[in-house]
Amino acid sequence: MNLKLDPPPVPPLSSSQRSRLRNRVMAKSQPMDGHSTRRWVAPLVAVGAVAAVVAGTLVITDDQPSSNLGVAGTPDQNSASPASGAPKVDLGAVPRGDLSALGRGCAFPDEGTVKLVWSRHVRGITADSTTSVAVAVNAKGRHPASAKLGYRVCMTRTPPSGRLGAAGSGTVVTDKAWTSRPTATQGLLALDANGFEMTADSSTLQLWAIYRARPEIARVEARSVWKGKVGEWTEGVVDGGFAYTEVQAHGKFTNGDHLGQEVRAFDAAGRAVPVKL
């Protein structure tokens, strides 16, 4: 009898399986007492994920089905045009008094304050909160082998009340993602997979992402996608060579289903710039 049997081959994880794994890691990092906390997640997907795994019944008021989808859930840029009167997430520069706290929040545990490369003040996950998002770096710390340069993307919520869920979170940026640049056919380049955040009562889900942006991009918009239905276009942030998009959905969520987002970009004249995430 041959006792030296090779184990059966293990197929690679699908995108939905990777998303579920990411979601479980985040869920297990939540405190058991319901209070807010900060969490750090290693990058399970290096660049360009456009969906998070959630579940339950998600209600989106826009009943028109998503159409003209291009690569990876990106709208056909030939038919896209800026949304008139689209809501905005941008609140301007991070208040000066909040920058030190944001720098501390972008640090890994026991790392101290890191250097902020880029930051922005944006809307919160609840109507009475706001958020600061940032790209930061600490080249001297201990980093994963895939992210030795020490870059990371992070966010901090204000106020960090118990019903917000996590008061802050972040993900390391792989060296490959940081050193890559947008191209003529890929005007936005995500620095990491989408951040996935949820309120403590599981009633609001938020996806956010920070990108490098081509110089000609003056406006970015994103909308949520759920089973062929789409939310309203929401204007993100374009500033200093970076861009930020964020979408929210409201319902009662548990693990299992997909929430995605579509992203599009325009130059100063309103002409579409190709985006492939």
pLDDT of residue 118: 98
Q: Is the predicted pLDDT of residue 11 greater than 80, yes or no?
A: no
Most confident of 13-27, 83-97, 154-168, 215-229: 83-97
Under 8 Å CB-to-CB from 227, ≥6 apart: which residues?
Answer: none
Burial status of residue 221 (CB atoms within 10 A of its CB: 0-12, 13-18, 19 or more): buried
Task: Please tell me the predicted confidence (pLDDT) of residue 225.
Answer: 84
φ, ψ of residue 132 in degrees (nearest 5)? -110, 130
Domain layout of the chain by residue ranges: 33-273
Whole-number percent of the chain with pLDDT over 90: 41
- Taking 60 as the threshold, does the pLDDT of residue 24 lie above it? no
Q: Is the pLDDT of residue 46 over 50?
A: no
Q: Per-residue pLDDT for 189 more than 50?
A: yes
Model confidence, pTM = 0.75
Q: What is the pLDDT of residues 116-162, one digit of tens each?
A: 999 999 999 988 899 999 999 998 878 889 999 999 999 998 887 77
* 197-248 pLDDT per residue, tens: 888 888 888 889 999 999 999 999 999 887 677 889 999 999 999 999 999 8
Q: What is the pLDDT of residue 274?
A: 94
Of residues 156 and 59, which shows the higher confidence score? 156
pLDDT band at 1 (very low <50, low <70, confident <90, very high): very low
Asked whether residue 90 carries a pLDDT value surpassing 80, the answer given is: yes
